[in-house]
Chain A
Amino acid sequence: MIQDTRLIEIKNVCKRFGETEVLHDVNLYIRKCEFVTLLGPSGCGKTTLLRILGGFEMPTSGEVLFEGKDVTAIPPYKRRINTVFQKYALFNHLNVYDNIAFGLKLKTPEQMGCKSKKEQKEEIHRRVMRMLKLVKMEGYEKRSTNALSGGQQQRIAIARALVNEPEVLLLDEPLGALDLKLRKEMQLELKTMQQQLGITFIYVTHDQEEALTMSDTIAVMNGGRIQQIGDPKGIYDEPKNAFVADFIGESNILDGVMLEDELVKFHGTEFQCVDEGFAPDEPVDVVIRPEDIMIVGADVGMLTGTVESVIFKGVHYEMMVNTGAQRWKVHSTTMQPVGSQVGMTIVPYNIHIMRKQKEA
């Protein structure tokens, strides 16, 4: 269960590499046992932020607090944090068992609550075996790491980090190199592990679906800034700006003008909506999810257009509907033939109004 205590706080963190600013005034707190995902396109600064948490980079300014104490300058080997690296970074000169035992063997018997070296050795054995079971790699302890598949190497990398019982586990796109089916399996397994062990996970990915599946909290990043922090449903349903709307799921994004509270004009038409608090005639971004557009008869729709293409996606059909001024992406469970005239309706609740992003 997620606890209310703030385990990690990132305060006003900026990072520059020479002239380029990679992180701009990032603020974020992470609670105990929370599964937080840093989500964004490549180059958005998510990995740099993770590396700052791991102690591999120093922020140019700002600080990182761990349980209220400033750990910004604490080296990685003194942090109660472990990392699963993107390319696994297993030690090829050691077998699977010794890879997992690596961190424990560096500890003194006292640090592991053991009275003697012998007792520590037994405890290490117990814990390594427990980890192998957790990651479903029992029987592999004597194998060379070179002989493992990508998915298996990933499991060993996870076991090697988790066996140290860290407060926080950092994961840098750990499933990026796996095929789709394996990736889906591992997503569920990771989530289960996290809940079983009660460890805080901080997860970096550019895959929005992965983020939605696994996270308690998502921080969407772009251009070195956090765009939005929230739970998966909140981020999906109420994206704060056009970038988030576009990055999370699919969207139709249109230019509009807010005429008055709860009334917006786009596509040359006035629409009822539920947003308020905008200046009169303020230009806005209008975001509509493809699944929120209902296909109706051509004569009763708020908008009418011609179906240009239909793709079968499994659960639904993805159609492109051209209304002349705009091409709409529409998801529907019923198929409309290419070339047919259709009407489209959008309920006020599904029209999302966003303030225009000021270009940095």
Chain B
Amino acid sequence: MNSHRTSRFLKGTWLALVLAFLYIPIIVMIALSFNASVSRAEWTGFTLGWYAKLFQSRQIMEALKVTLEVAVVATAVSVVIGTLGAIGMHAMNAGMANVLNTLSYLPMTTPDIVTGVSLMLMFVFTRVPLGKWTMIMAHVTFDTPYVLFSVMPKLRQMNPNLYEAALDLGCHPAKALTKVILPEINPGIVSGALLAFTMSLDDFVISYFTSNTDQNLAMIVYSAARRGVEPTMYALSTLMFIVIMVLLLAVNRRSGLENMG
């Protein structure tokens, strides 16, 4: 009995330590974003001033626009490529599909810095000026696998006769795709899109290498940090953290609901 209690105590402590290690820095940052003092060393009162300042900064608003534009366009493009890619791979023979599967995993596992540098080299080599559009293209490359791997399981779970049933009832193949296959795998597409959007929102390394002119929020935070952090950056980071957490919670909730049936 006693040893049981000890083991429960140790387990609880360990879990608390891990969670503290993970979240205390973020909680500290969030707290500091409400601190009236510029100094990190003292708490001089609660304020929303840093948030107000954030929304008054043209530079930050401009970066927010770039971030959202890049995320929306890159997500849209990768949803199309990823979904069609998944449907194509699903229809292939197992050997070929395996090869493509592995190739599609690579961008997810390659270090961002390698992806960033190699994309930059490619754009420089092909003389494409580095700006918003190269950033979008770069984001598509790392967003697409998230869509692909969210859609693939849906296709595998799908009754293989569904497509044939659509043809049987009079659909041309293209119509069978839009009227039956896409609605059936839609939950996977939405989850994939949410993941891709999240990845785009908070990407720094790859964006940094593939855009000279336009800066997204992560790049702003980085350059501000080099000059010496001011609390507006805590406020900005807090907002980014919350938005991304909400998006990921949405993805989790969706997949949770589906697994329940």
| Residues of chain A having any CB pair with chain B under 8 Å | 54-56, 75-77, 81-83, 85-89, 91-93, 102-103, 106-107, 146, 160-161, 164
Contact = CB atoms under 8 A, between A and B. Distances in A.
B167 A93 contact: no
Contacts of A76: 164, 167-168
Most chain A CB within 10 A, of B167, B170, B180, is at B170
B112 interface: no
Interface of A is mostly: loop
Contact of A160 (B161, B162, B169, B184): B169
Interface in B156-182: 159, 161-162, 164-172, 175, 179-180
Given A91-B180, A91-B184, A106-B175, A83 B164 contact: yes
B170 A107 contact: yes
A93 B186 contact: yes
A74 to B, nearest CB: 12
A83 B165 contact: yes
Nearest to B175: A106
Interface of B: 159, 161-162, 164-172, 175, 179-180, 183-184, 186, 261
Contacts of B166: 91, 102
Given A92-B184, A93-B183, A77 B170 contact: yes
A106 B170 CA distance: 7
A203 B159 CA distance: 21
Contacts of A77: 167-172
A91 to B, nearest CB: 6
Given A76-B168, A77-B170, 12 more contacts: A55-B167, A56-B164, A77-B168, A86-B161, A87-B161, A89-B162, A91-B165, A93-B183, A106-B169, A106-B170, A106-B175, A146-B261
7 contacts: A54-B168, A76-B164, A82-B168, A88-B159, A91-B166, A106-B170, A146-B261
A-B pairs with the 8 shortest C-beta distances? A103-B169, A89-B161, A93-B183, A89-B165, A85-B161, A76-B167, A106-B170, A83-B168
A55 B167 CA distance: 9
Nearest to B183: A93
Nearest to A160: B169
A55 B168 CA distance: 9
Nearest to B176: A77
A93 B165 contact: no
Given A76-B164, A77-B167, A89 B159 contact: yes
Contacts of A107: 170
B160 to A, nearest CB: 8
Given A83-B165, A85-B165, A164 B170 contact: yes
Contacts of B170: 77, 103, 106-107, 164
Nearest to A111: B170
Contacts of A56: 164, 167
Nearest to A164: B169
Contacts of A93: 183-184, 186
Contacts of B168: 54, 76-77, 81-83, 161
Nearest to B172: A77
Contacts of A102: 166, 169, 179
A103 B167 CA distance: 10
A270 B6 CA distance: 87
B156 to A, nearest CB: 15
Contacts of B175: 106
A161 B170 CA distance: 11
A75 B171 CA distance: 10
A161 to B, nearest CB: 8
Contacts of A83: 164-165, 168
Contacts of A160: 169
A92 B165 CA distance: 13
B169 A82 contact: yes
Contacts of A55: 167
Most chain A CB within 10 A, of B164, B169, B261, is at B169
Nearest to A79: B168
A82 B261 CA distance: 30
Contacts of B184: 91-93
Contacts of B164: 54, 56, 76, 83, 85, 89
B260 to A, nearest CB: 12
